[in-house]
Copies of this chain bind each other. A is one copy, B any other.
Amino acid sequence: MNLPAALNLEPLDRQTLGERAYAKLADLLISGRLAPGEKLSLRAAADVLGVSIMPVREAVSRLVADKALEVMPNRAVRVPLMSAAQFRDLTKVRIAIEGHAAAQATQHRDNNDLLSIGRAEEAMRAESQSLTPDLPRAVELNKTFHFAVYEAAHSPILVEIIRALWLKAGPVINLDLRANPDRLAKGHAIRCHAEVRNAIAAGDGAAAREGIAADISGAADFILSRGGLAG
């Protein structure tokens, strides 16, 4: 089994088309570029992605399993419309689980985690305090910060669950954020992020949980106050 040492390359990623289609669609959802209620045609999506409908079918069936998409009784696929009650439920669950992850992070974070959390927090602060904030970029940086925190809990299963929650919340939250740049300027999220960062550095689990909870419910209250939800 001795090979020439020159062959030290990684096992070259053999990503299937289905996975790439899933990643593409998931990104659209999580960043809010697909609005609730928007319909999605398998064939149209396949055309856009430049593949046949088979990979798209696989991607969509995964997203439907995650309840990030839904098939109507008419068999049409769309981004689910969320009632205010459902959104409140989702928010409560996010606060419980993401708060738990943040608390765990205070106990299991290592130096690398602190570094990436710090970098992510500063990047988002810089962007949102910029005179001409780039909203899509701010949404992306927000995601980066949150997941830097959750990754610090060192629980792959927990991170995966939270990712699925973001898939559901993304269309509602980030679509709205795109439409309302002023909310970013108020800096509520920025303050929460700083609180979380400090709590994790200090090892204060309760404070980290509260910081995340305040961030999530701040955004949720804003959405609910605008009253744009169904049902």
Chain A interface residues (CB < 8 Å from chain B): 11, 14, 18, 22, 57-58, 61-62, 64-67, 73, 86, 89-90, 92-93, 96-97, 100, 155-158, 160-161, 164-165, 168
Contacts and interface: CB of A to CB of B under 8 A. Distances in A.
A1 to B, nearest CB: 17
Given A61-B58, A61-B62, A66-B65, A161 B14 contact: no
A159 to B, nearest CB: 10
B57 A89 contact: no
Given A73-B14, A93-B161, A65 B67 contact: no
Chain copies in the assembly? Answer: 2
**SS class of chain A's interface: helix, strand, loop or mixed?**
helix
Nearest to A157: B93
Contact of A65 (B14, B62, B168): B62
Given A89-B155, A92-B155, A155-B92, A18 B61 contact: yes
